[in-house]
Amino acid sequence: MIKVSVLYPNEEGKTFDHGYWTTTHLKLVQSLLGPMGLVNGEMEKGVSGTDPNAPAPYVAIAHLYFNTVEDVHAAFTTHAGAIMGDLPNYTDIKPQFQISETLV
């Protein structure tokens, strides 16, 4: 299984609309990437760092699961523009990306 992680750093003065992401953006992603191999998508909302009084290092982390890395690259080559074009509707944070192979 291949996992695409989209990490949104918790930066002072930046905003992130979790409601928009979970109701609108995820539907957009699913409609575009589902036919191209997206198996599942989920969102984590940062709560804290290891110190319960410290802010989370990431305000949100999204995970998108595909069966193959080829599916990932084909899907994002085709639809990255539309997906990234929706970004200003829910955040002003520049996301970081990692593509990983799940081992367990």
Specify the number of domains making up the chain: 1
Specify the pLDDT at position 33: 97
**70 falls within a domain:** yes
> Is 20 within a domain?
yes
Distances (CA, A) of 69 to 26, 32, 35, 80: 20, 17, 15, 15
Residue 29 sits in a domain whose CATH number is 3.30.70.100
Please state the pTM of the whole predicted model.
0.93
- pLDDT truncated to tens, each residue of the chain (104 aa)? 999 999 999 999 999 999 999 999 999 999 999 999 999 999 999 999 999 999 999 999 999 999 999 999 999 999 999 999 999 999 999 999 999 999 98
Specify if 21 maps to a domain. Answer: yes
Distance in angstroms (rounded) separating the CA atoms of residues 1 and 99: 11
45 lies in some domain: yes
Give the domain extent around 73: 16-88
